[in-house]
Structure 1
Amino acid sequence: MVKIFVLSEYSLNPPEDGQGRVKIANGPLYELQLVQTLARDESRINAWTEKCRKDVRKWFDDDLERVGDLISVLKPGDYIDSEWCENGKGAWAACDAYSISLVETAPATGRPVRMEYFLKFAVSKTGALVLIVSCHA
């Protein structure tokens, strides 16, 4: 049996080895205002998975401050669900998922365009970092 390493502040009932993503009932797991406070400082944001790092490069030119800006405008009604996620290196985090729709200006045309962003994150066990698991349009 492989030992599960939980790196999130929330650590109740982690998935068993081989279970993959498991939904967590009764979320959100983290107080949104606390996450938003942490995310104001980009040094407290960690793109925790390889896919997330690629998406941050693609959608935000590697700018974690822009990711923090997205988190700052989330509302409790943007919450989708919570689930356990693995980072590809054997560590797990209990994450809250949010979706937000924003009107932005398209750089190529200067016209308004509606963008739907999906964010999935956890607070680290130390309470000092926001672990971004997913961040894409």
Structure 2
Amino acid sequence: MVNDKVVSRFTGTPTRENGGIIGKEPLYPPDEVLDLLDRRSIGAITLWTNDCQKDVQNLELDHDGVIKLIRNALRSGRFLNSQWCQQKPGGPWAACDAYTVTQAEWIEAAFKSLDIQYYVKFALNKSGKLLLVVSCHTSS
């Protein structure tokens, strides 16, 4: 059975063609996402995929850490593209914006601060009151 249910505010027909790329402009205005994060704080996000939950756990981030990373991505990161993402095989779809952002992180094993590049991908839900975080991990 094919599931093409879209849970994001941006709608359309989900596809995997062209890597699921929708476009080269953000679907969700950064100022709107930042405002949502400011108004609702940790109530503004949900880690929408199992992979995202695992990645955030591996990074040892709490919800505040994820919010900080998204804020940094929107303010000083680089927008990559917008793309279709599926929650799980046969599950619902979300039209997402993808960003990379580099942050200085203290690396205990190296005993110094190193620049670490992160990849974040998210969508606004239909009501625009919840940010669905699809990916949050370091870039390889």
Q: What TM-score do the two structures reach when normalised by structure 2?
A: 0.85
Query: In structure 2, how many angstroms separate the alpha carbons of the residues matched to 1:42 and 1:73?
Result: 16
Aligned residues, how many?
133
Which digits, 9 at most, give the CA deviation of each residue in 1:4-41, with x for residues without a partner?
110001003333xxx47511024210011211222341
> Which residue of structure 1 lines up, in the alignment, with residue 126 of structure 2?
125
Identity score, percent? 36
Distance 1:26 1:33 in 2: 18
2:85 touches 2:96 (CA, 8 Å); kept in 1? Answer: yes
CA distance in structure 2 between the aligned counterparts of 1:76 and 1:31, rounded to whole angstroms: 14
Per-residue CA deviations over 1:45-100 (Å, capped at 9, x if unaligned) read: 111000000001001x2501101001112237610011000000510000000001
Unaligned runs of 5+ in 1: none
Specify the alignment match of 1:10 in structure 2.
10
More helix by share: 2
The answer to whether 1:63 aligns with 2:87 is: no
CA distance in structure 2 between the partners assigned to 1:29 and 1:67 by the alignment:
20
CA displacement at 1:109 relative to structure 2: 4.8
Verify the 8 A CA contact 2:77 2:100 in the aligned structure 1. no
Is contact 1:52–1:133 with CA below 8 Å preserved after alignment? yes
CA distance in 2, matches of 1:98, 1:62: 18
What does 1:95-110 correspond to in 2, within 5 Å? 95-110=96-111
Shift of 1:107: 3.5
Q: What pairs with 1:72-111 in structure 2 (closer than 5 Å)?
A: 72-74=71-73, 75=75, 78-88=78-88, 90-111=91-112
| Contact persistence 1:36–1:68 (CA under 8 A) | no
The residue type paired with residue 24 of structure 1 is I
Structure 2: gaps (5+ residues): none
